[in-house]
Structure 1
Amino acid sequence: MYQYIRKFTQKYTSGIVDVYRSVGWTSHDNENVIKIFNASSHVIIVIKDEKVVAVTRALSDGVYNAAIYDVVVHSDNQNKGVAAEMLKILLDEFSSLSCIHLISTSGNEKFYKKSGFKMLKTGMAIYHKSHLEDEYTY
């Protein structure tokens, strides 16, 4: 049974770091996790057996736009519907907004298309790290 926590508290920090590291995101340390989750307007932390197994976060102005970040499931808990449920919760909350932005990690585009996301005609980004620019831009 999964528990979906909607508020970040620092007691979850090390578990969240573990989730990120399980999928190779090693720059997400305790300090950075605290900063990004405190700055997010929407947070979901998924707990199973008292352990953090998945997280997502988003920023929204509450009127027009939202951006979803870091839909991440621990490598031991993937393909069990957890990411889809987190996404559904956020999409339901953002249903009155004009636009919901999301940048998929490579290889996960099909997953997001199933939830209604579409490729952008005019989407653009600036990446200050070359490995991210190489992965996400043309």
Structure 2
Amino acid sequence: MAIEWSDTAEGVDWIALSEMYRLAPLGNKSAQWLETAFSNSMFKFFVRSGGTVVAAGRAVADGVDCAYLCDIAVHPDHQGTGLGKELIQRLVNRCRGHRKIILYAVPGKEPFYGKFGFRRMRTAMAIFENPEQAAAGGYTD
């Protein structure tokens, strides 16, 4: 099937997208949560196959200083096809001109993002809604 790219949220089935994130696996993100997050993001891409979203990602950005890539996911049936690489490259290209482009990776995936020029930060810090879960997942010390 043909792959279709879109940079708008028009026609997105948020419930199906929520299920795709669960399967990816990138956690449980409700349809309402995803709709709010993507709507509030400066840049976004949705990748469809047969009309169904099979990959998505977004970037929160201020237009000059900082862009943050997040919620990059590819359905398991489409992983390993290059969609994730193209998705990241498209988001990075949209974010060009910002002083810094940031993301935080699932532990163990850092080498993948390094191919795009991302480097480990020594001073990054975060406040997580669930600090115990973040530590258990390998995101914090």
TM more than 0.5: yes
User: 2:12·2:53 contact (CA, 8 Å) conserved in 1?
Assistant: no
Matched residue count? 138
User: 1:127·1:133 contact (CA, 8 Å) conserved in 2?
Assistant: no
How big is each residue's C-alpha offset from its partner over 1:17-76, in whole Å with a ceiling of 9 and x where there is no partner?
Answer: 121011244421111111111111111110011111001011111111100001100111
Aligned to 1:122: 123
Q: How does 1:34-53 map to 2 (within 5 A)?
A: 34-53=35-54
Residues 21-30 or 93-102, more deviating: 21-30
Q: How does 1:1-138 map to 2 (within 5 A)?
A: 1-9=2-10, 11-129=12-130, 130-134=132-136, 135-138=138-141
Counterpart of 1:111 in structure 2: which amino acid?
F
Question: Structure 2 CA distance, aligned partners of 1:58 and 1:29?
Answer: 18
User: 1:10·1:34 contact (CA, 8 Å) conserved in 2?
Assistant: no
Question: Structure 1 CA distance, aligned partners of 2:129 and 2:95?
Answer: 29
User: 1:4·1:45 contact (CA, 8 Å) conserved in 2?
Assistant: yes
Counterpart of 1:132 in structure 2: which amino acid?
A
Question: Structure 2 CA distance, aligned partners of 1:17 and 1:103?
Answer: 20
- Identity within the alignment, %: 27
TM-score (norm 2): 0.90
User: 1:60·1:66 contact (CA, 8 Å) conserved in 2?
Assistant: yes
Question: Structure 2 CA distance, aligned partners of 1:118 and 1:15?
Answer: 33
Question: Structure 2 CA distance, aligned partners of 1:99 and 1:69?
Answer: 14
Secondary structure of 1:84's aligned partner: helix
Which structure has greater helix proportion? 1
Counterpart of 1:99 in structure 2: which amino acid?
K
